[in-house]
Chain A
Amino acid sequence: MNENSPIGVFFYDIPGVGTDQVDYTALCSFVSRFSEVKKVWRYSNLPWNESIIRNCLVENGFERIIIAGSIPGTIKSLFTKVMALSGKDPGSVELVSFSKYGIHSVKESERAEALMHCAIKDIPFEIAAMPGEAQVNPATLIIGAGIAGIQASLEIANSNALVYLLEKSGTIGGKMATFDKTFPTLDCAACILTPKMVEVNQHSNIRLLTCSEVKSVSGGPGNYSVTITQHARRVNVRTCIGCGTCAEKCPAQAPSEFDSATTMRKAIYMPFPQAVPNKYMVDASTCLYLKNGKCKACVKACPVPGCINLDEQDTEINIIVGNIIVATGYKPFDAKRMPQYGYGKYPNVLTSLEFERLLNASGPTGGNIHLRSMDKKGNPIFNTEAEKPERVAIIHCVGSRDKNFNKYCSRVCCMYSLKFAHLVLDKLPDAEVYEYFIDMRAFGKGYEEFYERIREEGIVMIRGKTAMVEEIDGKLQLRGEDILENRLHERTVDMVILSTGLEPSDDTRILADILGIHLSEGGWLEEANYTTDPTGTFKGGIYLAGTCQGPRDIPDSVAQGSAAAARVIQNIIRGSVTNGLTEITTAQIEKNLQELFPVH
């Protein structure tokens, strides 16, 4: 390597790309300090074009060009061409991708400088930035007890390591517990999930922390000190026998979270009969005693003395863990944000989670599909006396693949919509089912076959985004365009199901800030490398699993839960954890460089 080979550095600081908040001015002055660097350009400092670059190249006799930026690859071909035309080696155009190393803002400017340093010295960053190791505490915290968190905690607990499984709500199980069937096998979701939930509950290595949230995290990889807020459950989990006498006597009601508000539950309630822990809990915002100071009907009814304590307060606990797995999942897109589909206005426009509960045997109608009506207060209610729909339409991509809401594909909606179509025909063989889709994304093992099978069942597939749903004489009229037949269509149906997409859970941003990890576009948690390190983050000892990283289906979430667990188990067995890129300082890189290449 010729030490004094002249280098040109080009910052591709194209504005508005991704979350590009890097301080390029500071980086420019940083790289100018190197004697090898003869010229520094910035994309935003016009003018620049092929001939300017070429002249500059001839003047300075560059041997290498470094292009740095969020997405430097897009401009590379221009430089390669200029180099080749000037008789230089077109292969000596190098890229420094900031987004690849999680550099999005001034917060990571030190890492950006380190990257530039390595590029100028022509040393692979991975070698120079070999992060140090830290001793690991064998305990692990898993945030979120949906299917991904459950899978990860079982994998780790079965390796004889301690797991704290933290869950915000009163029961583990997450969204999967509310599903009726899973695609493409049409297994009963509860039948697969509940054994795992019970296993979690009975596992000697798992400490279950329900009604809990992470308040703050300090310490570093291998030794995180986590403060957890435990919200008052107001029912003693140890002594509650789950008899339900309290709920029978409770006078206050609220919509059931588990049933997507299609049924009502009491203020003291068990989220669902198979909940883990299988204990009651009090909803403080509904409880009459907590609102007005009078009632206590549950306390009087409870057969176990002292089990219900309505005056219980939130508590804080502190735990030390070596690794953290984040599995906080998703929330469904709020269909009310698309008023053209009339959700919330017309009772028979349903969201997919509501329809899951309608299909379920433990749902509002015992698993029979009935039309919904409005009660006297204007709340939509199901009742088993109501008529059954003859025509059902399913609208895909509600809130997904839409620049007005979320640009991304939510990945699961096509498949669960096909599942819905099948289940409608299963329960109502004479019904007509219409699927309104944009593109059919049946990408997994057995998915395309599932799609073919559903099509053969006689479902009408219409390609084209539905423009609007209107209620006319108690029926729902859909309008849209059928792009395959190249015509506008109007169709009258009894029920419309909106295939709502996935969005990051509330508080994902807050949690990311607490943990010191990043968000990627769309608000999902950012992985260290989508292709080669999908479970890791830039912070050592913190891993991702499930839909908190991006929309995915159950098999993928389970696989990622296991994969994240493998990373944790690896650290535990080895007894140390590799620091993430966030823990590396420029000084450390300089030191590494000195050790690796003493000539510098």
Chain B
Amino acid sequence: MGLQGAIESSVEPWLCYYCGDCSKTCPRDANPGELMMSMRRYLTSKYDWTGLSKKFYTSEIWELAWIIVFATLVIFSFMFVLPAFGYHFTRELTPEGGVKVNAFAPIAIIEAFDWIMAAVVASLLISNILRMYYKIVWKNSATTVSVWVHVREFWRLLYNFAVQPKFSKCDDKRYWISHWFLMSGYTIMFIVIVVFLPWFQTEEILPVWDPQRWLGYYATFGLLFGLGVAILGRLKKTDIKFRFSHISDWLFLVMLTLTVITGILIHIFRISGMPLATYISYIAHMAVLVPMILIEVPFSKWSHLAYRPFAVYFTQLLKNANSKNPG
């Protein structure tokens, strides 16, 4: 209908958190909630300039193939590349009886790799957000939005990322709560792993009350709780918001769950002094985590972590730009 531009410049899909009330009360089974969900997938593919997002969304084989490629690379690196540089698997235990993780997964290298991966993902995501900004704000502003307004309204972005106040306005608060736990758990884990890896990946077994341990436990709980609600919901399909699952929804949930489970296993095996099991779960953890981050964050479902709060921020910028000349 020639309205592609209108869709691409709209923020509304990102302001919808899919409580499903619209689909529940629709007299015609038109399912507007699922339409918004499809719209978000479409917009994700449109913000992405590489064209990979569209590929991942439309071809399951393509997506699975890339997951396997990245996973294989990770496994290969641990099995052959790192040993070549002298980092070997060892049966030797620490004096406390813990596994020597850093012997085969040296912090400095893993940390450097984390930073590289974060930089790649961030640059892709930021370039997509700039495209989103161009489509939504730049093209539709009646007046130029001053730098000061950008700075002044920036708090909205952080606030919406951290609290998701829009989601909390849905009638059913349960999903906001479970989603918030998932989000906070994930965010904590991400920051800890990328920024504070030397503090987090220790061979020493710290006391239970140490922040390193309870932060990790909280994040694990948050992730598992959020994932549990989403997975059970999608399996039961009693609620309309969970009735229609795209392959990308399932891949995301399954990969994140596997990451969490392997993460828990590393922890258990490490403190109980089981070197081989720790080693295998570490590789498995990385083999799921790396493709998940590289594919899901910039190109697929996970990109909503950035697009949603940015949409609120952009809405405010637009309001500022267009309020000055009414009509």
The residues of A with any CB-CB pair to B shorter than 8 Å are 340, 397, 401-404, 465, 467
How far, in angstroms, from A465 to B28 measured CA to CA in the complex?
Answer: 11
Q: How far is the CB of A468 from chain B (nearest CB, A)?
A: 8
B29 is an interface residue with CB less than 8 A from chain A: yes
Residues of B contacting A465 in the complex (Cβ-Cβ under 8 angstroms)? 27
Q: Would A340 and B29 count as touching, CB distance under 8 A?
A: no
A176 to B28, CA, bound (A): 31
Report Cα–Cα, A402/B24, bound state, in Å.
11
Q: How far is the CB of A486 from chain B (nearest CB, A)?
A: 12
Complex: A25 Cα to B29 Cα, angstroms: 34
Name 13 A/B residue pairs within 8 A (Cβ), A-sorted.
A340-B25, A397-B27, A401-B27, A402-B27, A403-B26, A403-B27, A403-B28, A403-B29, A404-B24, A404-B25, A404-B27, A465-B27, A467-B25
Q: B97-128, CB under 8 A of A: which get 1 and which 0?
A: 00000000000000000000000000000000
11 extra interface residue pairs, beta carbon distance < 8 Å, beyond A402-B27, A403-B26: A340-B25, A397-B27, A401-B27, A403-B28, A403-B29, A404-B24, A404-B25, A404-B26, A404-B27, A465-B27, A467-B25
Complexed CA–CA distance, A401 and B26 (Å): 11
A134 to B28, CA, bound (A): 48
Which residues does chain B contribute within 8 Å of A397, judged by CB atoms? 27
Closest residue to B27 on the A side, CB-wise? A402
Chain A nearest CB: distance from B21 CB in Å? Answer: 8
A338 nearest in chain B by CB position:
B25
Tell me the smallest distance from the CB of B15 to a CB of chain A, in Å: 13
For B26, list chain A residues within 8 Å (CB).
403-404
How far, in Å, is B28 (CB) from chain A's closest CB?
6
When chains A and B are docked, how far (Å) is the Cα of A465 from the Cα of B25?
Answer: 11
Closest 8 CB pairs of A and B: A402-B27, A403-B29, A403-B27, A401-B27, A340-B25, A403-B28, A465-B27, A404-B27
Interface residues of B in 4-62 (CB under 8 A from A): 24-29
Which A residue's beta carbon lies closest to that of B22? A467
Alpha-carbon distance between A82 and B29 when the two chains are bound, in angstroms: 35
Give the residues in chain B near A403, CB-CB below 8 Å.
26-29
Give the residue name and chain of the B residue nearest to A397 (CB): B27
Chain A residues with CB below 8 A from B29, complex form:
403
Residues of A within 8 A of B27 (CB): 397, 401-404, 465
List chain A residues, Cβ under 8 A from B25.
Answer: 340, 404, 467
How long is the Cα–Cα vector from A467 to B29 in the complex, in angstroms?
A: 15
* Chain A residues whose C-beta falls within 8 Å of the C-beta of B28 in the assembled complex: 403
Find chain A residues with CB under 8 A from B24 CB: 404
Residue in B closest to A438 when the chains form the complex, CB atoms? B27
Measured CA separation A169–B24 after assembly (Å): 37
Interface core residue of B25, B26, B27, B29 (most chain A CB under 10 Å): B27
* Bound CA span A88–B24, Å: 51
For A402, the chain B residues whose CB sits under 8 A away are 27
Cα–Cα distance between A154 and B28 once the two chains are bound (Å): 43
Contacts of A340 in B (CB 8 A): 25
- For window 244-278 of B, CB contacts with A under 8 Å fall at none
Which residues of chain B come closer than 8 Å to A404, judged between CB atoms?
A: 24-27
CB closest chain-A residue, reference B24: A404
CB-nearest residue of chain B to A406: B27
- A340–B24 CA distance with the chains assembled, in angstroms: 11
**CA–CA, A143 and B13, complex, Å:** 55
A499 CB to closest chain B CB, in angstroms? 14
Tell me the nearest residue of chain A to B30, going by C-beta: A403
Shortest C-beta distance, A265 to chain B (Å), equals 36
B295 to chain A, nearest CB (A): 37
A403 to B27: give the CA distance in the assembly, Å: 5
Cα of A403 to Cα of B29 in the assembled complex, Å = 7
In the complex, A465→B26 CA distance in Å? 9
Give the docked Cα–Cα distance between A403 and B31 (Å).
Answer: 12
B239 to chain A, nearest CB (A): 15
Of chain A, the residue at the smallest CB distance from B29 is A403
Complex Cα distance, B47 from A352, in Å, reads: 50
**A467-B32 Cα distance, complex, nearest whole Å:** 13
A401 to B25 Cα, complex, angstroms: 12
Q: A404 vs B27: C-alpha distance in the bound complex, in angstroms?
A: 6
Chain B residues with Cβ under 8 A from A467's Cβ? 25
Taken together as a complex, chains A and B put the C-alpha atoms of A397 and B26 apart, in Å, by 13
CB distance from B36 to the nearest CB of A (A): 15
Q: For the complex, give the distance between the alpha carbons of A340 and B22 in Å.
A: 11
Nearest opposing residue in chain B for A467, CB measure: B25
Taken together as a complex, chains A and B put the C-alpha atoms of A402 and B28 apart, in Å, by: 6
B80-105: CB near A (< 8 Å → 1, else 0) gives 00000000000000000000000000
- What chain B residues lie within 8 Å of A401 (beta carbons)? 27
Q: Nearest Cβ in chain B — how far from A407, in angstroms?
A: 9
Please name the residue on chain B nearest to A339 by beta carbon: B25
Q: How far, in Å, is B87 (CB) from chain A's closest CB?
A: 59
Q: How far is the CA of A402 from the CA of B29 in the complex (A)?
A: 9
Write the nearest CB–CB distance from A183 to chain B, whole angstroms: 24
CA distance A467 to B22 in the complex (A): 9
A116 → chain B, closest Cβ, in Å? 36
CA separation between A187 and B28, bound complex, in Å?
Answer: 36
Q: Give A405's nearest chain B residue, CB to CB.
A: B27
Question: How far does the alpha carbon of A36 sit from the alpha carbon of B231 in the complex, in Å?
Answer: 57
User: Min CB distance, A139 to chain B, in Å?
Assistant: 46
Within the complex, what minimum Cβ distance (angstroms) separates A363 from chain B? 31
A103–B26 Cα distance when bound, in Å, is 33
Q: Give A403 to B28 CA distance when docked, in angstroms.
A: 6
CA of A402 to CA of B25 in the docked complex: distance in angstroms? 9
| Residue of A340, A397, A404 with most chain B CB atoms under a 10 A cut-off | A404
Nearest-neighbour CB distance to chain B for A469, whole angstroms, equals 12
Q: How far is the CB of A504 from chain B (nearest CB, A)?
A: 20
Would you give the shortest CB distance from A403 to chain B, in whole angstroms? Answer: 5
Q: How far is the CB of B67 from chain A (nearest CB, A)?
A: 35
Question: Which residues B133-151 have CB closer than 8 A to chain A?
Answer: none
| A397 CA / B24 CA spacing, docked (Å) | 17
Could you tell me the distance between the alpha carbons of A404 and B26 in the complex, rounded to whole angstroms? Answer: 8
Distance between Cα atoms of A403 and B24 in the complex (Å): 10
How many whole Å from B171's CB to the nearest CB in chain A?
10
Q: How far is the CB of B193 from chain A (nearest CB, A)?
A: 43
CB B59 to nearest CB in A, in angstroms, measures 28
Shortest distance from the beta carbon of A446 to any chain B beta carbon, whole Å: 29
Task: State in angstroms the CA–CA spacing of A213 and B62 once bound together.
Answer: 69
A467 and B23 alpha carbons, distance in the complex (Å): 11
Chain B's nearest CB lies how many Å from the CB of A201?
43
- Cα A54 to Cα B25 with chains together (Å): 46
Bound: A404/B24 CA distance, A: 8
Alpha-carbon gap, A340 to B27, bound state (A): 13
Q: Within the assembled complex, what's the spacing in Å between the Cα atoms of A397 and B25?
A: 13
C-alpha gap A562/B301 in the complex (Å): 65
Q: How far is the CA of A19 from the CA of B119 in the complex (A)?
A: 61
Which chain A residue has the least Cβ–Cβ distance from B28? A403
Q: What per-residue 1/0 map shows which CB atoms of B222-246 lie under 8 Å from chain A?
A: 0000000000000000000000000
